Amino acid sequence: MFTTRPELSGDFGMVASTHWLASAAGMSVLERGGNAFDAAVAAGFVLQVAEPHLNGPGGEVPILLWSEADQKVSVVCGQGVAPAAATIEHYTGLGLDVVPGTGLLAATVPGAFGGWMLMLERWGTWSLADVLAPAIHYAEHGVPVLDRISATIESVAGLFTGDWPTSAATWLPGGAAPAPGTKLANPVLAATYRRLVAEAEAASSIREGQLAAARKAWYEGFVAEAIAEFSTKTAWRDSSGEVHGGLLTGDDLAGWAATVEDPVTFDYRGHTVCKTGPWGQGPVFLQQLALLSGFDLDAMGYLSADYVHTVAEVAKLAFADREAWYGDADVPMSDLLSEAYNAGRRALVGPGADLDLRPGSPGGRTPRLPDLPAPGTSSGAPGVSGARAPQGVGEPTVAKTAGGVEVTSLDGTVRGDTCHVDVVDRHGNMVSATPSGGWLQSSPTIPALGFCLGTRAQMFWLQEGLPASLRPGTRPRTTLSPSFALRDGRPWLAFGTPGGDQQDQWSPNFFLSVVHGGLNLQEAIDAPMFHTEHFPSSFFPRGSRPGVLHVEDRLDPGVVAELRRRGHEVEQQGPWSLGRLSAVARDGAFLKAAANPRGAQGYAVGR
């Protein structure tokens, strides 16, 4: 089939990401003797500068990796936790029904730095100065402004000038949004990273000592002090329409550290797919595979009406379980992935589109759903008691566009803004990472640091007794979901995508395109994409659209007509509008890579 660019093939190394500058930076590390872990860290920090509307230093990162030395897949959890003062009573006492989608109240401990540093220390070989050098360069000298960065900043310029002047000082050079084709620098962020390097090198002459010193500076030193000062002693308007201060303190930062965990896995047709634990939505991918294992997708025909219908209906069931069971809690994953459980769930997939949210009862447990907003709640819904202004959400990867450019809501609320990077080196090490959060429109810029805090706490529920209820010191049920797959027990594929709730629909679609469609990596990325909005959003104001199925309009018209006949409310999107996947693979003697053409900025490089 036609592809927008070739599937890359070689034997030295491959990097694929959502921005060519990050891919190039990662490849330069491989060329200079670094391994996949060094390259991924360098690329991750470049993404903070090259895609500041999609991630930032104040965000988070989950990572899946294969170490040839360890001969296993590991999960690095760079997802921070809720502050000690973040209780349900505090938020409801402010008149809030949901955590705001922007501002200081939505902040968790910024985990990205700790996650990247943990991987670099344990599996990498490069120094802090070397992996940060590309990001410092781009922060000092500027990155090319793409249409999407310009449009995002323009859409929140009024918010910045009216309510968040520290953000205006950073992102409105000369008082206006930077025009496409110009350069955008962040000298304050460059200075922050230069100071980190200087303090680390002053503390130790040994690489590991420097990395430990850098973590200490971030979570207990000058970075933590600036974050705590800004969070607890300033107040800003957020998406509730009101002015609120933050809850994040120095003790919250000092008490947190990134961790290494084992993945949750499921075996599907000779492939072992690996995901994070259910503190993220990752296992919902595995639940879909467990359900699909009882269907004959090959007999249905790739992207036929039967195929798309079955995949969509299975996603509805899996995501209903996400709503009832997932969180930073005791989640019955073994039951959720068992054949006995899935055999019963599989029988719920009928010939027509289902319009209900139907969680299951793993091990006989009774499911409990949150008090959900009314079906159909979307961008015009308040979602907050007494809000003075309409609360809008818009997702760059699925939102309607203005002049062909995806835009952000006027109050800065977004969902799905994320980046992704995959790396494989000649030694066989592989990385899949999905950095996100702390994007420029999420919260006012901290003037001493050049970045803002994230808003991942909006994924907690302000309702007691749920796995994803807000509790101090726990992780929000994040949507960030890198993917990894073994084939016949050997590392094969690292892949992922931005897209919020859609990540674990687009990623399974890509995987199924390779396994059942027989497509290569680039063909599978380029293939027509689809997803459902049937279940509640993880993002403020938590709306849902039962029965709605988004499809790229390249999908066969006959298939679209049949899906509508079966009761799906099909909404056709632009031909290249859904998904931003990238992937790298080990395939026999070759290393391979591919990246997404949608958005005109993702690239794979390698040789």
**How high is the mean pLDDT of the chain?**
93
Q: Which helix (H) or strand (E) holds 550?
A: strand 548-552
Cα separation, 362 vs 324, in Å, equals 11
User: How many CB atoms sit inside 10 A of residue 124's CB?
Assistant: 26
pLDDT the model gives residue 1: 79
Q: Kindly list the structural domains of the chain, giving each domain's residue range(s) and its CATH number in brackets, ordered by start.
A: 30-257+436-459 (no CATH), 270-349+483-606 (1.10.246.130)
Q: How confident is the model at residue 243 (pLDDT cuts 50, 70, 90)?
A: very high
Of the ranges 40-54, 296-310, 400-414, 556-570, which one carries the lowest mean pLDDT score?
A: 400-414
pLDDT tens-digit map of 299-345: 999 999 999 999 999 999 999 999 999 999 999 999 999 999 999 99
pLDDT at residue 395 tops 80: no
pLDDT the model gives residue 414: 56
Please provide the distance, in angstroms rounded to a whole number, between the alpha carbons at the two ends of the chain.
23
pLDDT tens-digit map of 251-266: 999 999 999 999 999 9
Dump the DSSP string for 166-229: HHHHHH-GGGSPPPTTSEE--HHHHHHHHHHHHHHHHH-SSHHHHHHHHHHHHHTSHHHHHHHH
Q: Which residues contact 32 (CB under 8 A, 6 or more apart)?
A: none
User: How many CB atoms sit inside 10 A of residue 580's CB?
Assistant: 28
Residues 81-85, mean pLDDT to the nearest whole number:
98
Which tokens sit at 104? Answer: 């200081």
pLDDT the model gives residue 2: 86
pLDDT the model gives residue 339: 98
pLDDT at residue 199 tops 70: yes
- C-alpha distance from residue 542 to each of 134, 379, 382, 415, 501 (Å): 38, 10, 10, 10, 11
Q: How confident is the model at residue 599 (pLDDT cuts 50, 70, 90)?
A: confident
Residue tagged 């799905």 (tokens): 416
Q: How confident is the model at residue 377 (pLDDT cuts 50, 70, 90)?
A: very low
Cα separation, 300 vs 513, in Å, equals 13
pLDDT tens-digit map of 93-130: 999 999 999 999 999 999 999 999 999 999 999 999 99
Residue tagged 């049937």 (tokens): 534
Q: 588's torsion region: left (phi>0), alpha (psi -120 to 50) or beta?
A: left
pLDDT the model gives residue 412: 60
Of the ranges 249-253, 351-355, 362-366, 384-388, which one carries the lowest mean pLDDT score?
A: 384-388
Which tokens sit at 580? Answer: 């931003």
pLDDT the model gives residue 417: 66
pTM of the shown model: 0.94
pLDDT the model gives residue 544: 86
**Angle between the 112-123 and 36-50 helix axes, to the nearest 10 degrees?**
160
Cα separation, 394 vs 445, in Å, equals 21
pLDDT the model gives residue 374: 63
pLDDT the model gives residue 385: 28
Residues 373-396, mean pLDDT to the nearest whole number:
36
pLDDT the model gives residue 396: 31
Helices assigned H by DSSP within 64-127? 88-93, 112-123
Residue tagged 């965990």 (tokens): 261
User: How many CB atoms sit inside 10 A of residue 402's CB?
Assistant: 11
Picking from 69, 205, 23, the residue whose alpha carbon sits closest to that of residue 127 is 205
Q: Are strands 72-78 and 259-261 parallel, antiparallel or unpaired?
A: antiparallel
pLDDT at residue 403 tops 50: no
pLDDT at residue 376 tops 70: no
Residues 207-232, mean pLDDT to the nearest whole number:
98
